[in-house]
Amino acid sequence: MRNLRDCRLYGIVDLGYVGIAEAERATEAMLEGDVDLVQLRAKKLSLDEIVDLAGKLHRITSAAGIPLIVNDYAEVAAKVPVEGVHLGQDDDSLSHARKKAGRDVLIGKSTHSLQQAIAAEREGADYVGFGPIFATPTKPDYQPVGLNGIKRVHHEVNVPTFFIGGIKIDNLGEVLAAGAKRVAIVSGLLNAPDIAKYARACKTLLQPET
């Protein structure tokens, strides 16, 4: 299974952009494009539906050695051998999520300020998502945080940080120039005519210098 610190490109299968019937195909395409980490985000499904879909996606991701993270519902990890759970600011505490999971899993947390990112690390998050960097329909209630604070986040937060929010291939260079090392991409990937090709292009830009 790919180590979290080696992950650069985080692909999110958001059912706000793809239907349930397309989720497996989208996941396979992301893996073909060398995405390092996959999240299932299914805000409108019931818990049973999420468990069922997570099981299907996990068969695909585990065969490729890629971790699967489930958004919001830690109890899914008690029923499906997913590798992790992702929490928002208004979700369970990390300790409560770990109890719900019933086993040792990766837990990430969404953060929207440097203070929240530092707090998430102190709380025990294995990684943080930081954003939205740009305006995004996925998080319409949040003001974009912009590029200026990226280097400071890396300086003050020691766990892997994935920058998220309106990031696409067209502005990825700006995000990396501002100091980012890892990104999560949602609509850019899912709306691409060729998800695998788009992911490969992003991954090429994200490759660390040798």
Please say if 110 is a catalytic residue: yes
Please say if 59 is a catalytic residue: no
Please state the rounded mean pLDDT for residues 78-82: 98
Please state the rounded mean pLDDT for residues 12-41: 97
The single residue of 8, 98, 139, 182 carrying the catalytic annotation is 139
Tokens of 95: 């300790």
Tokens of 192: 């691409």
The single residue of 98, 109, 110, 182 carrying the catalytic annotation is 110
Percentage of the chain modeled with pLDDT above 70: 98
Q: What is the dihedral of CA 163, 165, 166, 171, to 10 degrees?
A: -20
Please state the rounded mean pLDDT for residues 5-16: 97
Question: Is 119 a residue whose pLDDT tops 70?
Answer: yes
Question: Is 45 a residue whose pLDDT tops 60?
Answer: yes
User: What is the chain's mean pLDDT, rounded?
Assistant: 94
* Predicted confidence band of residue 210 (pLDDT cuts 50, 70, 90): very low
The single residue of 8, 41, 98, 109 carrying the catalytic annotation is 41
The letter for the amino acid at 53 is L
Please say if 79 is a catalytic residue: no
- d(CA 195, CA 203) in angstroms, rounded, equals 12
- d(CA 209, CA 193) in angstroms, rounded, equals 29
Question: Is 99 a residue whose pLDDT tops 90?
Answer: yes
- Tens of pLDDT, residue by residue over 129-149, are 999 999 877 666 778 888 988
Q: Are 183 and 206 in contact (CB under 8 A)?
A: yes
Please state the rounded mean pLDDT for residues 22-41: 98
> pTM for the whole thing?
0.95
